[in-house]
Amino acid sequence: MINQSFSPERFSLSPQNSWALLICQCLNLSLLINELSVWMLAIISLCLSGRALTLIKPTLKLHRVIILLLACAGCLAIVVTGQQLGVLLSMLHLLCFAYSLKGLELNSRKDFYQIVLLGIFILASVLVFSQSLFISFIIFCLFILNITVLLAYFCPTQNIKNPLIKSTKTVIQSIPLAIVLFIVFPRLSPFWQVPSAKSAQIGLSESVTPGDIANLARSSELAFRVKFTSDIPKYNQLYWRAMVMDEFDGRTWQQSKNSALKNKDNSTNITGEMTKLVGPQTRYQVIAEPSYQKWLFSLAVVDPKSLEANQISILPLPNYTIKSSKAISQTTSYQVTSYTATMRNYSLSDNQRLTNLHIPRGNNPRLQAQGERLNLAYPDEVQRAQAILDIIREQDFYYTLTPPLLSGHELDQFFYQTKKGFCVHYASVFTFMMRASGVPARLVAGYLGGEYNKQSGHLSIYQYDAHAWAEIWVENKGWLRVDPTAAVNPERIERGLSQELQQDGLFNNDLLNLHRYKHLAWVNTLRLQLDSLDYQWARLVLGYSSKVQYDLLTRWFGHFQAWKIAAIIGGALALMMLIMWLVNIKKSKNKPLVKWLTQYQQILAILKTKGLEKPVTMPANQFSDLVIQRFPSLTVTFIAYSQCFEALMYQALTDEKKKQRLSEMKQYQKQIKAQLKNFK
C-alpha cells in the first residue's frame, strides 16, 4: 500500500513533524541573532509566528497578500541597507529571510526539501562567524535534528524518537570519512571577505581614550591563547604589545602614520637603529581569535625571521609591533620568537623625537606646568619618571573600572580632582607629563598577563586583560617600559584584576558567565577543563592550515601527489562502506523477527506438520485460499488472521493500531491452533 502523503498530487506533514520543523527553524536561526539586524529579526519573527498560528489553528490560512507584503518588505529592507551591511551580511540576511518565509508556503514536497536544505546552509553559514568547539558542537547537534526532520517525513506514523536515533547513527557513521577528508583534502581559502561583514571590530581599537579599555575590561571574551615552548615568563613580564600610539590630540591617543610603516628591506633591523638581537630567546605559539583587525600580539622585540615560516603574512613594524597583511577574520595561529633583553631604538631620529614630544598647545595646562617644574627639579629622565610615580603612589589615587566621566581638560581633571581611573588614565597622564618635561614618551596598548591552564599548559588572555602602559626614551638606553598602574594597583601587574575589581564592575550583565564564579572551586575547575578542550580544538582543528597539512602528508606519504590523495580518499570510502556492509549483515542475521512474523511462522510450522506447506514466493492472501480449501472450518478465522498479518507487515499503522492488530492476531492464532488439533 502506498502512503498517499508522498504522492505528488497531495502533500501534508503530520502535526508532530510540522512542529519539529518549526522548532528546527527557530534553533537554526537563533545561532545568527548577533549577525542579523533588528529589522530582519522582526520580519523573521513575524514569519515564524505566522507559521505557528497556522499550526495552532489548522483552519487558519494566511492570505497570499500578507505573504507577498512580507516578501516585499524583507527584500526592500535588504536592498536599502545592502551598502551598509556589505555583501556577505546582505546575502546572509537574504538566506535567513527566505528560510523563514518559505515556511508560510509549504504546499509541496519540493517546498519541504527546500526548507531542509536552507536549514543546512544556515548552519554552515554560522561557521563563517564562529568556529569554537562549543558552537561546532551545537551545529553538529542541530545538523542531526535537521536530518531527523527529513527522515520523520518518511515515517509519519512513527514517534520522533525513531528518526532521531537513525539520523544520529547515520551522522556518526560518516565521521570517519569526514576525518579522512579533513586530513587529506586540499585546504582552500574562503571565497568571501568576512571583515566587510563586521560593522564593529572586536578588542582594542586603533584609537584610545581614557574610558575605552575600562569598558573593554568588562568583557570575558577570549582575545588569544599562547603556548610557550620554553619556560613561561613571570606574570609581570607578559606585556603583549598590540599598538604603539604616539599622537595625542588632547583627548585621544592614536598611532602616527610613520610609526606604522613597514621597513622597506624587512631585515632584522626592523626597529630603526638598535643593537643586535641578544639575550635569551622566548619562543611561543599564538592562537588569535577573530578581531577583524590586523593587529597581532607579541612580547618585547620580535625576531623577524621567526615570522617567515608562518602560514599568514606577518609584517614587523618599526615600533616593535607586528600586524597581519589581512584582517584576522577567523581563528589564526602563528609562531613568534622574542628577545626580552634587546634594547629598543638605541638612537632616535629628529622626526621621531618631535612626534613623541608633541603636546597640543593650551591643553591640560596644569599638567604642562607641573611637567616643566619636574624638568627643572630632576635633570635625570629616570628620576623624573620616578617622581611622577611617587606622586601617584603617595596621593589618594584609586584604581577602578567605573571612573567618573571627564570633560574639558580631562587629564587635568583626573589628576587633580577625581583621582579615580583605569590603566589608560594613568598611562595617559604619565606620558603627557613626561612629554611636558621634555622626555620623548608614547602610549602602548595591548594586554597584560594571562590565565595559566595546567591541563594543557597554555595561557588564555581575555579582553578583561586589556592594558595600557607607557614607554619613555632615555639616551643610551632606548625605549624603557614604565607602567604607572603599578604605582596605584601593584596587584594588577603581579596577578591580574583583583576580586574586588571583578565585583566592582566585571561581568555585571552576564549572570551565566562562568568567570563570575571563579571563586567556586568546582565551577572554576569545569571552566578550565572546557577551556583546555577548546584550546586543543583550536590548535588541532582550526589551526590545521595548508602548510601543516602539507608537512603532515609529506611526512606520512612522501612526495605530495594528487593521485595519492585520491587513492587515500577512495580507499577510506571503500573501507567504510565495507565495514558498514559487514555490520549490517551481522545485524540482519542476529536481528530477531518482529512479533507478528514470528507468530505467523509458528502457524506455518503447524500447517506443515498437517501436510500443507506454504511456497516461499506465495503471498499470504493466496496461501489463505489454500488453507480454506484444505481446512474449510478455518475459513473465517484464517482470513481474519491473514488480514491482520498483512496489515502489520505492509500498512503504515500507528502504534495504537499495531497493538490492536497484534492483539487480534494473537486471539485468532489461539483459535486456529485449537481447531487444528482436531485434524490429523
Dump the DSSP string for 265-283: S--S-TTSS-----S-EEE
494 and 347 inside one domain? yes
State yes or no: pLDDT of 278 exceeds 90: no
Q: Give dist(CA 22, CA 51) in Å, integer.
A: 8
User: Is 16:164 a contact under the CB 8 Å cutoff?
Assistant: no
Q: What is the DSSP letter of 295?
A: B
Q: Which of 564, 586, 608 is at the close of a domain?
A: 586
State yes or no: pLDDT of 194 exceeds 80: no
As given in the structure block, the three cell numbers for residue 505 are 564592575
At 389, the pLDDT band (50, 70, 90 cuts) reads: very high
Segment 38-43 mean pLDDT: 90
168 and 215 inside one domain? no
469 and 613 inside one domain? no
191 phi and psi angles, rounded to 5 deg? -90, 5
Please count the structural domains in the chain.
4
Segment 411-434 mean pLDDT: 92
398 and 468 inside one domain? yes
Q: Provide the pLDDT for residue 263.
A: 46
3-state secondary structure of 319: coil
Q: Give dist(CA 176, CA 68) in Å, integer.
A: 45
Q: Give dist(CA 604, CA 626) in Å, integer.
A: 12
Residue 529 lies in a domain: no
Q: Provide the pLDDT for residue 10.
A: 57
More confident residue, 376 or 651: 376
Q: Give dist(CA 641, CA 620) in Å, integer.
A: 10
Q: What is the DSSP letter of 489?
A: -
Q: What predicted TM-score, i.e. pTM, was given to this entire model?
A: 0.75
605 and 560 inside one domain? no
More confident residue, 309 or 356: 356
State yes or no: pLDDT of 34 exceeds 90: no
Residue 653 lies in a domain: yes
Tens of pLDDT, residue by residue over 482-533, are 999 999 988 888 877 755 555 555 554 555 667 777 778 888 889 899 999 9
610 and 564 inside one domain? no
Q: Which of 586, 606, 632 is at the close of a domain?
A: 586
At 668, the pLDDT band (50, 70, 90 cuts) reads: confident
More confident residue, 426 or 589: 426
State yes or no: pLDDT of 198 exceeds 80: no
State yes or no: pLDDT of 64 exceeds 50: yes
Residue 533 lies in a domain: no
Residue 114 lies in a domain: yes
Other beta carbons less than 10 A from residue 581's beta carbon: 10
422 and 483 inside one domain? yes
The winner for highest mean pLDDT among 180-194, 426-440, 465-479 is: 426-440
Q: Provide the pLDDT for residue 498.
A: 59
473 and 455 inside one domain? yes
More confident residue, 279 or 437: 437
290 and 161 inside one domain? no
Supply the range of the domain harboring residue 139.
4-184
3-state secondary structure of 156: coil
The answer to which of 129-138, 262-271, 282-291 has the lowest mean pLDDT is 262-271
Residue 456 lies in a domain: yes
Q: Give dist(CA 447, CA 460) in Å, integer.
A: 11
Tens of pLDDT, residue by residue over 566-605, are 787 788 778 877 877 777 666 655 555 577 888 888 888 8
Q: Provide the pLDDT for residue 211.
A: 65
29 and 119 inside one domain? yes
Residue 534 lies in a domain: no
* Exposure class string for 123-161: b at 16+ Cβ within 10 A, else e: bebbebbbbbbeebebbeebbbbbbbbbbbbebbebebe
Q: Provide the pLDDT for residue 274.
A: 45
Residue 539 lies in a domain: no
Q: Provide the pLDDT for residue 181.
A: 82
The answer to which of 55-69, 97-111, 259-273, 322-336 has the lowest mean pLDDT is 259-273
Q: Which of 481, 505, 521 is at the close of a domain?
A: 521
Q: Provide the pLDDT for residue 577.
A: 79
Tens of pLDDT, residue by residue over 590-643, are 555 577 888 888 888 888 888 888 887 788 888 888 888 888 888 888 888 888
The answer to which of 58-62, 163-167, 481-485 has the lowest mean pLDDT is 58-62
Q: What is the DSSP letter of 96?
A: H
Name the helix (H) or strand (E) containing 297: none
In 3D, which of 22, 406, 123 has the Cα closest to residue 415? 406
Residue 120 lies in a domain: yes
351 and 287 inside one domain? yes
Segment 5-9 mean pLDDT: 42
639 and 563 inside one domain? no
